[in-house]
Amino acid sequence: MIETPVVALTGAGISAESGVPTFRGAGGLWREFRPEDLATPEAFVRDPKLVWEWYAWRREVVAGCDPNAAHRVLVEMEEQLRRENFTLVTQNIDGLHEAAGSRNVLRLHGSLWSMRCTREGTRNSDRRVPLEEIPPRCSDCGALLRPDVVWFGETLDRDVLEAAIAASRRAKMMIVIGTSAAVQPAASLPLLAKRNGARLIEINPDETPLSADADEVLRGPAAVELPRWWALQAG
């Protein structure tokens, strides 16, 4: 039985079966670099071309991927529970929740499909694959553009984070899907929900630092476990 309000918190693992590599786990490496060494402001200052080559590669990978059954269940949940009863919070930047049809997505870490001018701070949606020039430049002022994502060491958008915290505090149920719970502050949201009385459900093939606090653990791939769990709630 679903207890509302519900919050779903997703991480890279929900997109794994769509073909998007996760950071941690097999297939997480690009060339010989670790994501932690590329997804930083320092890496961008040092070598914007290298960082953009990595993002251009990620855009190409994701452009060839479709949402999977787990993304689609979250669309159904949004449609069946009223808006005040369902919040989707994601750490993903791939846009697959939106591609599946989710309407209200709190994107904690930004989007692979948006760019920001490093001089003026203006944001533009950009879905070109492949990119014509690397690194891309602002068409207005010629300054470097950067991926409109939150890098390690950067702060999250305050409004988005506050909305995620408020929803987590209110939640009666939080489903945590495909995250290693290694990146803060996202990883603390389930604990906040739990402290406020929410039932915590984890879907992940592997154990995580959250597992011990979960009331229910579904050890398996999201595209199998989430539809199965949702069907049980409906029945």
Catalytic hit among 59, 109, 116, 146? 109
SS3 (DSSP) at 71: helix
97 annotated active-site: no
Of 8-16, 73-81, 131-139, 227-235, the segment contacting ligand NAD by CB under 6 A is 8-16
Query: Is 111 near ligand NAD (CB under 6 A)?
Result: no
- In the sheet with 145-149, reading across from the earlier edge strand, the strands are 123-125, 110-117, 145-149
Which member of 69, 164, 208, 217 binds ligand NAD (CB under 6 A)? 208
The CB-nearest residue to ligand NAD is 13
Q: What residues contact residue 173 under an 8 Å CB cut-off, 6+ apart?
A: 2, 3, 4, 5, 6, 7, 198, 199, 201
Of 77-85, 155-163, 165-173, 201-209, the segment contacting ligand NAD by CB under 6 A is 201-209
Q: How far is CA 68 from CA 62, 65, 219, in A?
A: 13, 9, 18
Structure tokens at 79: 């449609």
Query: Is 214 near ligand NAD (CB under 6 A)?
Result: no
Query: Is 222 near ligand NAD (CB under 6 A)?
Result: yes
Q: Are 13 and 178 in contact (CB under 8 A)?
A: yes
DSSP H or E segment with residue 115: strand 110-117
Query: Is 68 near ligand NAD (CB under 6 A)?
Result: no
* Positions marked catalytic: 109
Which residues are near ligand NAD by CB under 6 A? 11-13, 15-17, 20, 22-25, 91-94, 109, 178-180, 182-183, 203-206, 208, 221-222
